[in-house]
Amino acid sequence: MSANKESWGSRVGLILAMAGNAVGLGNFLRFPVQAVQNGGGAFIIPYLVCFLVMGIPLLWIEWSMGRFGGKFGHHSTPFIVDTMHKNRLWKYIGVFGIWTNIAVASYYCYLESWTLSYVFHSIGGTFAGLDQDGVAAFFNEYVSLGKSTLGIPFEPIVFFVICLLLNTWILSQGLAKGVERVAKIGMPMLIVFGAFLAYKGFTVTAGENGAINDSAVGLNFLWTPNYDQLWSPTVWLAAAGQIFFTLSVGMGTVHCYASYVRSKDDIALNAMSAGWMNEFVEVVLGSSILIPISIGYLGIDRVTELVQLGGLGLGFKTLPYLFFQWGDTIGAVAGFMWFGLLFFAGITSSLAMGTPWIGFLQDEFNWRRKSAAWSFGLIVLILGMPTVLFFKYGVFDEYDYWAGTVSLVVFALFETILFAWVFGMNKGWREINSGADIKVPGIYRFIIKFITPLLLLWVFIGSLVTPKGGDWGAALSGNWVLDNSSIIKKLMNADLKEKLAAATDPAVIQQLQDTLFFVNASRVLLVTVFLSIALLVYIAYKKRVREGRI
């Protein structure tokens, strides 16, 4: 008999927890950069289309699957998908829903720990008096395990462990007393902090505090549409990819959360509420902070250069310097709010990542909540430590690419096929509408069955064989050369091998050789974890057979 008897304390808590799962660091660090790189205001068109025909359908699919599996006492994806079709392979495809969360949490908690550390550094005045290069140098030294400004030996490791301990302790308290309580505190605080920083972003004035542009310049730079890019498949792939990042679909966390919903509770409106709350945070707040403030003080040319470094470069290497242009006091407050906002966005997401593993152990091996939670913390500590120790060798990025990008698309494609074509659209549609507080538009029956899986397939194939430079016109005309960013070239380590072949400096050659070793080692480690979880699923299945539960 399962030890898992938990449930959500309230509907508001469930929606906030689901929204917290979706709202993460990517809302504030990744979205504005993606918009700038892919057509500015024109990017919002494919982004909203992908949200409506892929994001919302996937939310309904995952909420429905989770609630359906929960009726049978399942709270993790291997046996949730097993309830929908008895082919023995489905439960092993469901392993993605546990593995992805463990692998993502292993580097995400490290990233989350940066925000916690930067909160203290902002309050302590570490960034006061530093120029932009000084702040960037601080970040580079921090991730290289250099000297500690706070006087804490191996500061990144200490904050990683503290962050992981905090996550694990909250998870050990249960859904209602742990995860839900944090969501009820964290999400409102996130919005309050975000609103303050968005106000500051909207009121940047040229000539004040060293600003060289009004806020309107940054907002125009971000949202002026470049319609020439609208028809580029690369832009649409970027928009679809952002939907995965922003909604946390294809991970198994939504299934797990929804499995604790009562059988007749609404999921249609709940899914919409959580999804649109995430969109508000991303499009309204996320686009009003990073880019407008950066352009206000650094100008368009400088920010265009920094955008190539991605959101992490702007968020951690630039904004701490810009905040202190408002004075030491306001700078410390703004830094506290910015990194506090990122911390709340991070922890509400990372807590969700622990629930599938915990639910699996409770359901299949009768573990108690506290034991299951602490086992999650231990696994993430072991798997995550290489991202801390070998950050400069690309281990962090490797985890992010395979677990936080590719696997999301693969699992989402499989689950959509299962829901619409194997489980059947008739049963699936009834499940979505059962207990619904809204009338789901009938057009979504067609979208879920045809448009969503085709779009997912396109995203996967487009990522698998991305043409060089994203030039799809040349590729489709017969000159198809794979880009190093394609999945195939990534597997071949093409980019690293090209750099290694061109390198002449012995130090650079050694660095690249070490990077190649750690990249391959990290892949072996990730595959080993996946196979280990698959073995546990097999053991759990055999246990069910012996006990007569199948």
Is the alpha carbon torsion for 344, 347, 169, 333 positive or negative? negative
Segment among 189-193, 222-226, 442-446 with least mean pLDDT: 222-226
Q: Is the pLDDT of residue 29 over 80?
A: yes
pLDDT at 241 over 90: no
pLDDT exceeds 60 at position 1: no
| In the predicted structure, residue 542 carries a pLDDT above the cut 70 | yes
Higher local confidence (pLDDT), 36 or 117: 117
pLDDT score at 184: 95
pLDDT tens, 390-435? Answer: 999 999 999 999 999 899 999 999 999 999 999 999 999 999 999 9
The fold of the 11-547 domain, in CATH, is: Amino acid/polyamine transporter I (1.20.1740)
- Region 512-533: mean pLDDT is 98
Mean pLDDT of the chain: 92
Count of alpha carbons within 13 Å of 10, Cβ hemisphere only? 8
Instruction: Decide if pLDDT at 507 tops 60.
Output: yes
| 304 pLDDT higher than 90 | no
Q: Domain limits of the chain?
A: 11-547
Portion of the chain with pLDDT greater than 90, in percent: 76
Q: Which burial class, exposed, middle or buried, applies to 3 when counting CB atoms under 10 A from its CB (0-12, 13-18, 19+)?
A: middle
Per-residue pLDDT band for 37 (boundaries 50, 70, 90) equals confident
Decide: 79 and 69 in contact? Cβ < 8 Å. yes
What integer is the mean pLDDT of 478-491? 93
pLDDT(487) > 60: yes
Task: Please give the Cα distance from 157 to 244 (Å, whole number).
Answer: 29
In percent, the amount of the chain with pLDDT more than 70 equals 99
pLDDT value at 9 more than 70: yes
Question: 504 versus 145: which is more confidently predicted?
Answer: 504
332 close to 123: Cβ distance less than 8 angstroms: yes
Average pLDDT of the residues in 96-104: 97
Give pLDDT tens digits for 339-369.
Answer: 999 999 999 999 999 999 999 999 999 999 9
pLDDT at 549: 77
What's the pLDDT band for 484 if we cut at 50, 70, 90? Answer: very high
Per-residue confidence (pLDDT) for residue 234, from 0 to 100: 83
168, pLDDT greater than 90:
yes
What integer pLDDT is reported at residue 285 of this predicted model?
A: 92
Mean pLDDT within 280-304: 91
> Is the pLDDT confidence value at 60 over 60?
yes
Instruction: Report helix, strand and coil shares of the chain as percent, to nearest 5.
Output: 80, 0, 20
Distances (CA, A) of 280 to 27, 152, 292: 10, 38, 17
Q: Is pLDDT larger for residue 525 or for residue 470?
A: 525
Q: How large is the average pLDDT for residues 232-252?
A: 88
The secondary structure of 25-70 as a DSSP string is HHHHHTHHHHHHHTTGGGGHHHHHHHIIIIIHHHHHHHHHHHHHHH
Residue 233 confidence (pLDDT): 84
Question: Which of 192-201, 232-241, 462-471 holds the top average pLDDT?
Answer: 192-201
- pLDDT of residue 257 exceeding 60: yes
Residue 267: pLDDT band with limits 50, 70, 90: very high
* Confidence band for 2, pLDDT divided at 50, 70 and 90: low
pLDDT the model gives residue 204: 93
Tell me: pLDDT of 471 over 60. Answer: yes
Give the pLDDT score at 3.
56
Going by pLDDT thresholds of 50, 70 and 90, the confidence category of residue 323 is very high
Distance (Å, rounded) from C-alpha 78 to C-alpha 335?
42
Residue 443 pLDDT > 70, yes or no?
yes
Residue 442 has pLDDT above 90, yes or no: yes
Mean pLDDT of 166-171: 98
Q: What angle do CA 258, 260, 262 make, to 5 degrees?
A: 95
- Alpha-carbon distance of 94 to 236, in angstroms, equals 28
Terminal-residue alpha carbon distance, the chain: 13
